[in-house]
Structure 1
């Protein structure tokens, strides 16, 4: 390895006799440091659990996940205690995805170029879940072809690799976790998600995994953009909605608290008084009815009392 950046190494690898190479790696106690390399990497998790971290995103990985890592991407895998990660890595030289083979068929050539281009353009990588065990089987077949080197094995390796790309693309277009248009602005996505799901228990860890961010990275970005924490935002939206229900319905305070996702009444009263400067019953009085038009600030200003 040679120095790449501070605390980052650039990994060199000499491809043996094909531009597609398969090898296994076991990660125990995160012994492999953060690094980057000039080739593409398709890492299939054959056992264990842990976390994949790149420069701008991270997500959990477990047996049956496949992670696509583009060239020059700083990354690292972390295993969980007593659950070392075993990876089967498919390493691919750049030119394999850059220059489709010359075929005297314009339509077929276009299809191959489209498939390869979808990976060349995926600069931040992705993770797919091998629910049907298809990807693992192809990776295993590639490993056997490389190991036994029977006549025509280079040709078969290329065809199996193209099959792997096509299946990953199909997974990505259906239910894969990856950075797509919907989550290209993760903070705005989560704010909208809060407004649509504030009355339910929100699993922040699952949200972050879908956004390819660690909870820590997400919390930092969220506060940088909004000025408040994710928890404050969720509480503000819940109190904002409870204010509307207090004015628009004759429901009991307890019913309203449950409706906005705050079943702990002591906690609800404390939050409401903190945000609004009065109790729910006081807010409901006719002389305070004008307050409902002044609660839009709640999603940005966590402690300013209503006046």
Structure 2
């Protein structure tokens, strides 16, 4: 990563949904000299004051004009426009008109991976190119642009109200956005490695689900599907979209979240139940996925949701 960049730690409104969404209303445009310098820096690949985060980001412009930059593209966004940036993709924005109003939607895609949707979700793994390569979809297709913009606003409103079942509504609407991107990606910018390897890996996925509380040795998994260690590691990442180590940690932390909210167990008991008996490692991994400790997670989710 470039040394000029700033890492942004996204604080989720709801850890289970792993997202943050808010509306920004600005009344001042970026001074001309800063606009010129920002464009010059972009042309010279000097990413001064740019930032990145592991979450993907979508912008929806309600009023005014905003200029956005990512390494490969400059976007002039007007009312009704939508833009997307990939996970850990450097970007920066600046208001280039008075009275700018827009939504910012940041979400951790990994939180929405499950076995029922894995075949589609792996398309967003950014193996070959960042998700900003999909910006052509909303630029060329006004119907898709309008629908995604409406979904972003609806997600924001659901999070603001926090009604019962808002988590189901938000999840469904976000997956609609992903579905629209998949179905209208006629340039095939997403990851379309449709080999049968995912099907071959299915017994491994099932085994992991059934044995999260036990020690899982990669050598044992390799023997189950008759693969060498090196070949398994490579093919698993290609098929699933993340390394096996990351996948296993993700599944264990998600199971821990469920136990924290549904079982009257101590944190130590939960760590053992998900196969992480080393408490230091468990806390480290839990914080990586939730930006809080297990105790804070349980306390936060035990309270009625309040939008921030």
Which structure would you say has the larger RCO, counting Cα contacts within 8 Å and 6 or more residues apart? 2
> TM-score normalised to the size of structure 2?
0.47
From the CA coordinates, give the structure whose radius of gyration is larger: 1
Relative to its length, the structure with more strand (as a share) is 1
